Every structure is written in structure tokens, then in C-alpha cells.
Amino acid sequence: MPRKKKKFWNLGLKPKSTKSLIALICILIAALSLLSIIGQWMSYDNSLFVYLNRYFGNAVIILPLLFLSAGLSLTSIRWEIASSRIFWGLFVITLGLTTLFHLISNNHNIYKEAFEGSGGGIIGYHLGGTLINVFSVFGAFLVAMALLVIGLVIIFNTTLEELGEMVGKVAVPAGKGVHAVFWQPLAAGIRRVRNQEEVNEESSG
């Protein structure tokens, strides 16, 4: 009995080969999306950035990492970023960012802004709008922040307590840096202005 001929679109690839092809496509998308973002920053308009920005808004910057992690997680590479945990953490953070960017947008024509790639894009528009209808604006904001925290917990494979300690270790030096770079010069400038005003008052008196 003759063997049944395979359908045209059935390549007969092994599961490992299929995974490798999907991984390669994801890594290619990661590279192309990164190049499109860099090109946009350098004032070179490109259609890929327009479409990605339209759907993800300001969260578009995280897409290269998301696709790279997705591609590497399908390979046997043992890098940390190749862990499926990193992909799912970045995925949850992306949802949280698109929602958050939509909520903090102050444009009256919110859908037009989303379609043009501002705020949280079309995805943020639908996610944020749904959460607002279900939980109110404040509830939607809490859900968006919770998604960001959940994503970080997944990525770092940690607890809320340990995550809080990590944030504290970063926030304290950052706060000192902001104080040294911005607040101290500003305070010194204010003192100089006040001293000059006092000198002017004394000389005029």
C-alpha cells in the first residue's frame, strides 16, 4: 500500500527543529525591534516601530528583551535570561506597564493617543479601559502596580520581603545621588539668592 503523501504545508520537522525555528524567529524579532527603536531615537522613521508602538505604546522599549527571552527559553542555552521564568516575568511587567501608561495619560482623546503610540498603546487602552470599568480608576492603578510587582517577583524568583530589601538598597543610594546632584545645588542657589536680597536690603537701608 503506497504511503500517504504529506500535505504541502506539513514539513515533517522534528519537534526540536520546530522549537529551534520558533526560537530563531523570536530572536530575529527581538533584534529587529531593537534596531527599530534605536532608529526611531536617531530620527529614522520605520514602519516596524510604528506598529509596535501603536500596540504597546511607551512599553515598546521592553519588547526586545521579551522576544529575546522567549526565543532563548526555547533553546538549551543555560543563561539566566533563557529561563522561561524571565519570559513570563517580562510578559507580566509588559501588561502592567501598558496599563499604567494608559492610566497616567492625560490626553482627552485617549483612543487617538493610543492609536498613535502614546500612553499604553492599543493594548493598554483596552486593558486599562476594562480594569477601569470593573474596578474604577484607583482599582485599575492598584492592579497595574500589582502586575509590576508580580513580574519582578517572578523574574528574581524571590519574596515580597526580599524584593523590598532589594528596592531599598537601590533606592537609598539613588536618593543620595539625587540629593547630591540636584537638591544640594538648588538649595545652595536659593541661599545665595536670599543672602543677596539681604545684602541689597541692608545697602538700601
Secondary structure (DSSP) of 24-87: HHHHHHHHHHHHHHHHHHTT---HHHHHHHHHHGGGGGGHHHHHHHHHHHTSS---GGGSHHHH
Residues ≥6 apart with Cβ < 8 Å to 81: 65, 68, 69, 72
Q: How many residues make up the chain in this entry? A: 205
pTM, two decimals, is: 0.71
Residue 119, judged by CB atoms within 10 A of its CB (0-12, 13-18, 19+), counts as buried
Contact 141, 103 (CB under 8 A): yes
Q: Which residue ranges of the chain lie beneath pLDDT 70?
A: 1-12, 106-117, 166-167, 169-197, 199-200, 202-205
